[in-house]
């Protein structure tokens, strides 16, 4: 793997208050007879305005951890506090509300609604937040402009390239001004040139004051982050402001 770029080329913004605090989190999957320990006890603090990469080989538990951080999944044991609130104590609807207002999730496979155009996809979180339609259109349009898709707002996902689809997904993650943006292998389904574009977009978001957590197994992607966590077999192997 290529060595990281020199640190002085990238500004490091001062971090803010604690957003995520997890302690001794485990996740077990029962596959018939076999119990899979996807996470074996992970402890981690993440602050506002961090740009964090979670690295590790395939099967090391990155996605499992990410889904948990994104309140899509719940730990088998351990503690998870989001903005000081115990996630384990929340109802499904409270979790939905956190996902809606506090978290912007970018998936490896984009997960756009295929029959809806870009604008409508980006509007989706705003619909569920109860934002009235005028304001909703405007904010969705602005979010699409901010990812460079201002001229593609009425294209359906299948009328867009992979990179453009991922931009739509990023716009959707941004549109509700969440506390953190989570991206699980956001460049995994993109060619390297398009991947670079998305990473440049993340850099802009970071510099604009957003908090980013990016899962990747590529050093080249992790190099863009300001802090890197390495997972191995469900445990944190190293955690440091490496670059």
Partner 1 sequence: MNEILKMAFGSLGVNKLRSFLTMSGITIGVFSVIGVMTAVSALRGSIETGLSFLGSNMFQFSRFPAFGVNGNSEHKYLARRRVSLDQAQRYIEFMRGSADVICLKAFANGNPLVQASYGNHKTTKGVTFGGTNQYFLKANQFEIGTGRNFSPEDVDLVRPFALIGQEIVDKLFPSENPLGKLLKANDRTYTVIGVFASKGTMFGGSEDNIIMIPISRFLMDFGAEQYSVNIATESPSQTQYNATMEKGITAMRVVRGLRPEQDNDFEIYSNDTLIAAFAKVADVVSSGAFVISAIALLAAGVGIMNIMLVSVTERTKEIGVRKAVGARKIVILTQFLVESVVLSVTGGLVGILLGTVAGDGLAAVLSAEIVFPWGWAAAGVVVCTAIGVVFGMYPAWKAASLDPIEALRYE
By CB under 6 A, residue 216 contacts ligand ADP: no
Among 223, 206, 240, 175, smallest CA distance to 16 is for 206
Q: 59 is in the binding site of which of Mg ion, partner 1, ligand ADP, none (Cβ under 5 to 8 A by kind)?
A: ligand ADP
Cβ closest to partner 1, residue 171 vs residue 225: 171
By CB under 6 A, residue 2 contacts ligand ADP: no
By CB under 6 A, residue 62 contacts ligand ADP: yes
Q: 93 is in the binding site of which of Mg ion, partner 1, ligand ADP, none (Cβ under 5 to 8 A by kind)?
A: partner 1
Cβ closest to Mg ion, residue 117 vs residue 185: 185
Whole-angstrom distance, CA of residue 19 vs CA of residue 46: 6
Cβ closest to ligand ADP, residue 106 vs residue 175: 106
Cβ closest to ligand ADP, residue 58 vs residue 192: 58
In sequence order, which residues have a C-beta less than 8 Å from that of residue 179 and are 6 or more positions away? Answer: 19, 48, 83, 102, 103, 211
Among 78, 50, 104, 64, smallest CA distance to 240 is for 50
By CB under 8 A, residue 124 contacts partner 1: yes
3-state helix, strand, coil in the chain (%, to 5): 35, 30, 35
In sequence order, which residues have a C-beta less than 8 Å from that of residue 2 and are 6 or more positions away? Answer: 219, 220, 223
Q: Which of 7, 36, 113, 200 binds partner 1 (CB under 8 A)?
A: 113
Q: Which of 56, 125, 178, 195 binds ligand ADP (CB under 6 A)?
A: 56
- Shortest Å, Cβ 22 to ligand ADP: 15
Per CB under 8 A, which of residues 206..235 are in contact with partner 1? none
Cβ closest to ligand ADP, residue 40 vs residue 137: 40
Whole-angstrom distance, CA of residue 48 vs CA of residue 79: 19
DSSP 84-110: TEEGGG--HHHHHHHHHHTEEEE-TT-
Stretch that binds ligand ADP, among 2-10, 11-19, 52-60, 161-169 (CB under 6 A): 52-60
Three-class DSSP category at 58: coil
Structure tokens at 112: 């756009």
Whether 165 and 97 have beta carbons less than 8 Å apart is answered as no
Stretch that binds partner 1, among 15-23, 49-57, 107-115, 147-155 (CB under 8 A): 107-115
By CB under 8 A, residue 202 contacts partner 1: no
By CB under 5 A, residue 63 contacts Mg ion: yes
Structure tokens at 231: 């997972």
- Chain positions contacting ligand ADP, by CB under 6 A: 29, 31, 36, 38, 56, 58-64
- Chain positions contacting Mg ion, by CB under 5 A: 63
């Amino acid at each position: 793997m290529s060595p990281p770029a020199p640190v002085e080329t990238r500004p490091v913004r001062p971090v803010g208050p604690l957003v995520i605090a997890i302690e001794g989190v485990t996740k077990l999957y029962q596959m018939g007879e076999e119990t899979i320990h996807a996470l074996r006890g992970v402890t981690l603090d993440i602050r506002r305005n961090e740009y964090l990469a979670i690295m590790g080989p395939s099967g090391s538990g990155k996605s499992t951890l990410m889904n948990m951080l994104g309140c899509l999944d719940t730990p088998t044991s351990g503690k998870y506090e989001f903005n000081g609130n115990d996630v384990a104590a929340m109802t499904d609807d409270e979790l939905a509300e956190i996902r809606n207002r506090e978290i912007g999730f970018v998936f490896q496979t984009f997960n756009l609604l295929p029959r809806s155009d870009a604008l409508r996809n980006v509007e989706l979180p705003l619909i569920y937040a109860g934002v009235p339609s005028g304001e909703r259109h405007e904010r969705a349009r602005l979010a699409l402009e901010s990812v460079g898709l201002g001229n593609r707002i009425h294209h359906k996902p299948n009328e867009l390239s992979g990179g453009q689809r991922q931009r739509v997904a990023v716009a959707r993650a941004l549109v509700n001004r969440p506390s953190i943006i989570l991206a699980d292998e956001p460049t995994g389904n993109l060619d390297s040139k398009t991947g670079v574009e998305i990473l440049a977009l993340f850099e802009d978001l970071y510099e604009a004051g957003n908090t980013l957590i990016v899962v990747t197994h590529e050093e080249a992607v992790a190099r863009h982050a300001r802090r890197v966590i390495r997972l191995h077999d469900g445990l944190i192997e190293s955690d440091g402001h490496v670059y």
